Each structure stands twice: as C-alpha cells, then as structure tokens.
Structure 1
Amino acid sequence: MSADGSEYVRDQRYLTTRITADGRDGFPVEPGRYRLVVSRACPWANRSVIVRRLLGLEPVLSLGICGPTHDERSWTFDLDPGGRDPVLKIERLQEAFFARDPDYPLGITVPAIVDIPTGKVVTNDFAQITLDLSTEWRGHHRPGAPDLYPERHRDEIDAINADVYADVNNAVYEAGFAKGQDAYERAYRKLFRRLDILQERLAARRYLVGDAITEADIRLFTTLVRFDAVYHGHFKCNRSKLAEMPVLWAYARDLFQTPGFGDTIDFPQIKEHYYVVHRDVNPTGVVPLGPDTSGWLTPHGRERLGGRPFGDGTPPGPVADGEAVTAVTG
C-alpha cells in the first residue's frame, strides 16, 4: 500500500535464481529435472503456460497445476488425487519454498519452477521465467517453434512490456484493491488511457511488435482474456468491457483462437479464484454465472492485416495429455 494506505503496491521481490544453458546460477537446463507449477487462474502463471506450449517444451518441462483458490498460506494441489502433486509429492506449494528457505519471508506465488530432485523452488520470477524459456531453453524447443523474443525487436518488446505491466497488467489490481477513491480513480484512468493507446496501435497492425506473435502479445493477452470475466466487475474497471473496445476485442479473439492461447484458458477457474479468494472485494464469495464466453470463438477479421502468427515457425501440436482446459460456453 502507499503511505496513506489507499494505493495498492505489488511486492515485486522474487527468487531470482535463473535456470540457464550454462548453469551459471547452479541450475543448468536439463530435460526432466524441473517442474513448472502454475494455476490456471493466475495471469502471471498463464504467461508461462502459453510460452511453454508455443515452444513445445512439454516433454522436457513438466507441469504441476494448483487449484484455483488458496488460503493465506499457499496454493494447493487440490485438483490432484489425494490433494498431492504426483511428481513433487507435496500438498502445498509452500512446502517447496520452505525446502529452499525454512524462513522464507515472501509471497508463495505462481508460476514457480521447482527442482524435482531436491524439491526446492528455483525461481518464481515470472517476468524472467518466460524470457528464459525462449532463450536459455532454446536447445529443447520443438522443430518450428516461434521466436517469441527476437533479438532485433527486444528493445521495442521490453519498452512495450514495461508500459503494459504498469498501466494494464498491474493497473487492474491497483484499481481493484484500492482503499481510497483517489487511488482507484488514478488506476482506472491510467488503465483506460493505455488501452486506448493500444487500440490505436493495433488498429493497423495484427501484433504489437513486428509481424508475428512475441512475448509482448502474450503479456497483454493474459490480462485482456480476464477482463470481462473478472476485472470489469470485480475490480471496477468498468468504463468499457473488452467486448466494447472493437480493436482490442478482435485482437484478443485472434490470439485466443491461435493454438497455444485459448487452449490454456479455463474461465470457470479464473472466476472462482478472483471471486472466492478476494473476500475483501467480494465478501460473499458468490461466483457470477456470466459472462457468455462463446463470443471468444466468433470471427475476428484480423487476417486482413497480414502477419504470420508463428513467424517462420509452425503452430504447436495438440494439447498434452492431462492439460486440457474447460471449453468455452454460452
């Protein structure tokens, strides 16, 4: 919170140990050694799931999926038989953080990558995780994997990511968790000012940078796909629904219908997380039945702008066994 307690400030202290090709932090890239732990509900974790799928890393980096809700202690593996992750053999993600540091003082967050042999979390630095999957894990990408962080565009991608993080990804939380009117209105105005800028940018181009999907599109998508389901009502970001912003709505549908995006989205889990966990915002814990999600599958018309979704690469294959999500419904 801010000094007067009215403004939400995200704690950005994470375990920043990196898994790299050369193992300079003590954790070299090794097939089968690590487990990516996520929740379908979390937008920060959703990024890593999309990148893993687009790059075809499923055979070398396994996926542990926590349930959509958690208490003050930790995310839990309540979706697994017996409420225990079948690989890590733990009930709470907290156990992997405490295995690394028994006095771990920070948040138990997803995504987190766990070293399977030791059961210790290596990193929960969500922004670096996806970049490292694109660069440090390159030797294990599938044939035809897209380049999501091309060197020639990195400065532009980084600049857009910084603006999108501050004004969109995090601003919805600043609005939703504001404890005062002024703090809420600052976040609200910042959010919609940036969404208007993004609409203008995307009116004549299919993707944010270059002519193919990059890390920048993935980071924006995971907020947009949650917008009407939770941020518009639950977080009071209600100037416009995404479906009322024509360019962004078409852009988001284009991505949703691209393999690797919509097939990672579970709307029931997303809604359950926000409306059940955030009791300070939604004291009753009642989860809304709407909105109708079938619109995500309607034609978007973005093909007319050209572009190649996967650049010189190809689409990912079918969703891995055990990783399918709940289909969109009316």
Structure 2
Amino acid sequence: MKSYSIQPLNENVRRELQQKIDYKTKPIGALGKLEELALQVGLIQGTETPELRHPHVLVFAADHGIANSGVSAYPQEVTWQMVQNFLNGGAAINVFCNQHQIQLYVIDAGVNYTFNNYHSRFINAKIGYGTQNFLEQPAMTLAQVYQCLQKGNEVIELISKQGCNIVGFGEMGIGNTSSASLITSLICERPIAECTGKGTGIDEAGLIRKIAILEKALNQLGKLSNSLDILATFGGFEIAQMAGAMLAAAEKKMILLIDGFISTAAFLIAHSINPLVKEYAVFCHQSEEMGHQIQLDYLQVEPLLHLHLRLGEGTGTALAYPLVQSAVGFFTEMASFESAGVSK
C-alpha cells in the first residue's frame, strides 16, 4: 500500500495569522468559528494571503451486497439511477454546486451497472459490480481495498492538475449506511445499535431488523481491529475510494470538506491510516443519521452546520463551502484597526 506523507500544519506562521485575525476591526473572537476556519486555512496553505481555487465536490458511487438482505427502504438499482440523475443535473448536489460555482465529478467506484454514455462529469473507477454480501463473506478482498485507495489517489491527481485546492467528499450507494455503521462501531468501539440509524428512511420495524442483521454480521466476522481489515470485511468500494482520496488530498495540502455519516466513516479509515489528515479537514454538518455524533465525538471535532440533513451526495459540503469562503474573505479583505484608523 502507498504510504502517505502528510505534512503537519505550518506552525511557523500561526502567531502572525492569529495576530492578523485579532487585529481586524472587530472584538477578538467576535467572528467565532469563522476565525478558527481562517486560521486553519492559513496554516494549511502556510500564508497570510490564503485563497480558495477551483473547488470540487467528488461523489463516489458503488453498490453493496448487503442491500439484498433488507437493510434499505430502496432497491439496489436506485444507485445507478441516481448516478444518472447526477449526470443529468437533477439532484440536490447539482443545484448546490451550480449555486456556488463548484465543479462536480461523479465517480463509479463499483456500481452494479454499466454506464456507456460519456459525460464530462463522470469518472470510471469501477472495481467491481458491487461488493459481496458481508453476511456471507467479506465485502471485498484486501487487494480490492488497495485498488480502491489507488483509484482515490488518481481522482485527486486529476483535480489537482486543474488547480483545485479545496475538495468536498460525497457518496451514493444503497446499503452504505450499514457499512458505515459497522465501521463506526468497530473503530469507535461502540455497540452497533448506537451506530445504526434509518438510512434511506426505513420504519421502526425495519430499523430493528437492520440492527439484528448487522449484529449477526459482527458476530460472524467482526472481531477486527485493523482498519483495513474492517474496510475489507464491511466496507464499500466508494467508502474505500473516498478514504484514499482524502489521504491523497491532504498529502497535496488541499482543504478537505467532509460531509455526513458515510463520508465520515471513510474519514475514520483515513484517520486510522494517517492521523495528520484531520488537520486538513473541515467537518461540514452534523447528520441526522444516528452514528454521526459518535464519529464526531471520537474525532473530537465540531461541525459547521446542523441542518437536520441525511441525504449524502456531498450536499453538506456544498452548503458549507460559502462559510469557508467567508472565513477567507474576512481574513484577506477586512480592514485592520490600523488601516481603518479605528482605535483598538
């Protein structure tokens, strides 16, 4: 597996950055979380004149064998149908990306469908036609995990060549909340019932059945502690590719915009491989999916928004991007007490 040489943030400029923030024409700390964001972006870029260039959202899509065991309110074919909807411009993520001038790419990491039409927003990174059902056997092999990590690297290389330095991570895959719940349970060491929610909108009886299925899977295959083994056993191709892309993006000193429950599950894997990835990450919102708070608590991070979202697709990253813009904007454009002639 590729080793990721992620650099610690540039602490040499912290004092100057903080002083610049404090001397803006406002009381110290009055812009709250925006001040923290401005400092983080300045540290990532190592400069007092940070800028956001060519923002992208990457939506990784794949199918899951466990979807055939009744854990979702939707059939598996919805995955490929939604990918087509993304490419046709009809999904929420299309609306938000268009609104905020964000470039969108949709990555086929392992959808159970063959896409024949060429589209400028489509990337073929297919590992297989969906994972195996982890009630019967591991979802994928370790070799496939390594393939996924490499594919994630390649996607980041592509957008890096386009000048991108800030990237949001989203996903689509019927059944992927089940994978995320198991990853969360094992890495955060919490009972599966605490990490499992309604996903696409199953009812209470469906949730009870889903928890029972995941507990059975854990009893059969779940005595795991190594994150790559966890990913191979219970993960998805899209989750694995996201993890690789997150690590590669941090290696290139990009700002990472992390979406909700599934994306944060991928981040848990990335973080276990190289904890320095966290210094480059902005957690965009708190999902309504039950296990997301457990993930955020484990990582000791605070999300920017709490809008009761549970859609995925990277929608939270596109909605949070203007806040990052505002943080950089006040930092680079707002007058200081000295330049404005205001008494401090």
TM-score (norm 1): 0.30
Which is higher, the Rg of structure 1 or of structure 2? 2
| Higher RCO structure, 1 or 2 (CA under 8 Å, sep 6+) | 2
Greater per-residue helix proportion: 2
Normalised TM-score (structure 2): 0.29
